[in-house]
Amino acid sequence: MNATLELSVVARLADLEEAEWERVRSDDTNPFSSWSFLSALEETQCVAPDRAWWPCHLTARLDGELVAMAPAYIKNDGMGDFSRDWAFYDAVGSLGQELYPKLVVGIPFSPVTGRRIFVAGRSGLDEQTLVNALMQLAREVCRQHELRTIQVLYHTEEERRPLSNAGLTTRILVQYHWHNYDYKTPDDWLARLPSKRRTQARREQREPDKQGITIETIRDERLSEDSEEWSRIAFELYRTTCEKYMWGGTYLNRAFYDHLFTQMGDAVELVVARRDDRIVAGSINLATPTHLYGRYWGCHEEHRFLHFNVCLYHSIRECIERGTQVFEGGAGGEHKVTRGFEPVATYSSLWFADERTHALLGEALERDCRLREHQISRWQATYRDR
C-alpha cells in the first residue's frame, strides 16, 4: 500500500465529524466512548483546561479517511480519571523523576472497561500497525509538551497485547461485577450464594418495605416524557454525594446532565427510591442490551441498607428479568462480594518517558499482574464451582 498514514492531534472533538467517529467505532456499543457522551463533556465544559483536562485526541488518516482514533487528554494530576496512580507517585519520585504531567487515553470520570483505541475494520491496515502509529503519536505529544507518562486506562483485555507490543506495560486492578448465569428468577441467583450471605441478602432486601420505601426504575418513554425534570432530580442526587466527601469533586454539571437525559435517553436509567411521595435516594445508570453500568448514587435521607437496595439489589433483579448479562457496579467496593458480585481484572497500560523508570516499574508491574491474575483466578474458581 502506497498511501501515507497521516497522524494528527485534535484539540476539540467538534473538529471531527460525528459520522466518522461513529463509523470507526461501529462495532462498539459502549455508551461512554460514543460521540454524544464525549463531545457533551467538552461542550458543557466538564472537560476543559480550567478543569485540568486538555483534550488532545489521537487520530490516523489514510487517504484523508479516519482509520484509527483514541480519546486522549493532558492532565496535571490524577483527579477524575480513576487512574489510581498515587501508588506510582512516591516510586517515580524515588527515582528522581516526575509522574505528572501525563497523557491519559481513556474516558473522563468513567472507570468502565471498553476499547480505547478504535480501528476501522476496512482500512487495509492491521490493528497492530495502527496501535503502533497512535502510540508513536502519543510519545510525540509527550515530547512536545514535556509529559512524563502515558496511561491507557480501563482498556479491554484484547487490547493488552497490541499495547504491550507497542512498548507499554500492563497494570491490573480489580473491580466487582455481577454476572448473569442464565438466572430465571432472583431466587436462582440467591441460591448461588453461600447460606450466610443468602440470609443476609434477603434480610437487607426486606428493609425498604419496613421503612415504607418503594424503588423503581425510570427509563424509555417515562424518561423522555419529562427528561428535563428527571435530569434535575438526577443532578441533585449526584451532587449530594459529591458534597459529602472533600475528595469527590463535582465533576459533572447540570448542562451535562441535561444532555445525557435528552440526547442519550435510550441508554440512561434512573433508579429512584420514594418515601411518603418524596424521592429520598437514587442511582444513575447507563445500559446496553448486554450490560448495565452503575455510575452515580445520591440520597437526601439516610436509611438502613438503602444504598445496597438502590444501587445493587434492585438492578440485579431487573438484570435477571431483562436478560442483561453483566452489571458493572462501578469502581471499588469489596462489600459487593458479599452481595453476589465477582472480582474481575481491569486493564490499563503505561509508558514512562524516563527509560530507567519504565524498565524498573515495568518489572514490578509484571510481577504484580501475575499475582493479581492468580488471586482472581483462584477466587473465581472457588465461586463458580460452589
Final residue of a domain: which of 290, 324, 358?
A: 324
- 247 vs 34, higher pLDDT: 34
Residues 15, 146: one domain? yes
85: which 3 cell numbers? 496512580
How many other β-carbons are positioned within 10 Å of the β-carbon of residue 145?
A: 12
Residues 223, 364: one domain? no
Final residue of a domain: which of 324, 355, 373?
A: 324
> What pLDDT does residue 26 have?
85
What residues have CB less than 8 Å from 376, skipping those under 6 apart?
Answer: 174, 343, 344, 345
Q: What is the CATH number of the domain that holds 38?
A: 3.40.630.30
Residues 15, 127: one domain? yes
Residues 164, 195: one domain? no
Domain that includes residue 57, residue range: 5-175+344-384
Query: Could you read off the pLDDT of 36-92 as tens digits, one per residue?
Result: 999 999 999 999 999 999 999 999 999 999 999 999 999 999 999 999 998 888 889
Q: Is residue 331 part of a domain?
A: no
Residues 69, 100: one domain? yes
Residues 28, 170: one domain? yes
Residues 77, 124: one domain? yes
Residues 22, 151: one domain? yes
Amino acid, res. 349: S
| Axis crossing angle, helix 35-43 with helix 254-263, rounded to the nearest 10 | 150
> What pLDDT does residue 330 have?
82
Residues 189, 284: one domain? yes
Residues 147, 217: one domain? no
In Å, the largest CA–CA distance within the chain is 71
State how far the alpha carbon of 224 is from the alpha carbons of 218, 227, 229, 237, in Å. 10, 5, 10, 19
E strands present in 263-315: 268-275, 278-287, 291-299
Averaged pLDDT of the chain: 93
| Structural domains of the chain, count | 2
Residues 36, 105: one domain? yes
For the CA atoms of the chain, what is the radius of gyration?
A: 22
Residues 281, 164: one domain? no
> What pLDDT does residue 1 have?
45
Residues in a beta bridge with 73: 55, 104
